[in-house]
Amino acid sequence: MGKIIVVGSMNMDIVIKVPYIPAVGETILADEVVFFHGGKGANQAIAAARLGGNVHMIGKVGKDEYGNSLVRNLKDNNVNTGGILFDDAFPTGTAYINVSRSGENNIVVNQGANGNLSVQDIKNNSGLFEAGDICIMQLEIPVETVKYVIDLCSEKGIKLVLNPAPANVTINDYLKDVYAVIPNEIELSILTGSKITNHDDLLTSSQKLLEKGAVNVITTIGERGSIFVNKDTSFITDAVPVERKDTTAAGDTFIGAFCVAVYEGKTIKEAIKFATYASALTVTKEGAQESLPTREEVEAFIRNS
């Protein structure tokens, strides 16, 4: 049986509920502070697993309670954790997330053990890449490790789906044959050095990543949905309107759902539609991994929409 391999970050999310996102230099009082399991890698792994994927996670946490809790939660969500390592030197990564009453957020990440996931760690887990169908990565781990995995997936014939977050322009030189690059609008702007103000800007900027070798580019554009571009075509998929509580992990859900749909043989358009509905459900709940929908929830949502 094939598998979805996720190489990426695991964090404990410290969510600070605020009346609104503060400006630079501004001090405001929080409404509440809560803790959630997070990290883009772990979020995307659990998103894919809850939607039916056979998911294996490679990552690193500290030898602390946050790390133990994150690994337990992955196991509880049917993610294979054999590739997760416990670091002697660094604590588990943490993310500090401001969430406004309207559901907007901003995020500051302390990498911790995520920043120590090395090329050698990947080599030590190279067996996981046998019979792999899709590999998902983000940029919350060292870029050198990301580059190595890109090359390994190319060698093994594994579809690589890259979520370039946080955006790092050095990755542009390693996009050749990457099956799908999935940034948000801000990340696309940073990667391409382009100012994006309209639809044409999105197309032009996406084309720049295609010129770097990416096969498909899917940019999530918030309440407007997403835009798909490859060398043959482009199209917009509108967002599904819902009442938003917390946008945390909406992009991670989109990526996990997209990969499950591709893994199951759906077309790109079908996969994006499925991912759009899944990510819409995520923003109706609070937290990162706690908000990720099941396959049954998404299918019922699609039927009833």
pLDDT along the chain (305 residues), means of 10: 90 93 96 92 96 97 97 97 96 92 86 97 94 93 97 96 96 96 97 94 97 98 95 96 83 96 96 96 82 93 90
Lookup result for tokens 């990301």: 146
Examine the residue annotation and report whether 31 is marked as an active-site residue of this protein.
Answer: no
Q: Report the distance separating Cα 192 and Cα 177, nearest Å.
A: 18
- Judged on CB neighbours under 10 Å (0-12, 13-18, 19+), 105 is middle
Active-site hit among 13, 87, 121, 252: 252
Give all domains of the chain, ordered by start, each with its CATH number. 3-10+39-81+115-304 (3.40.1190.20)
Q: Is-above-0.85 flag for pTM?
A: yes
Collapsing DSSP to helix, strand or coil, 179 comes out as: coil
**Can you give the pLDDT at residue 286?**
76
Q: How many CB atoms lie within 10 A of CB 124?
A: 13
Beta strands across the sheet bearing 32-38: 32-38, 11-18, 93-100, 105-110
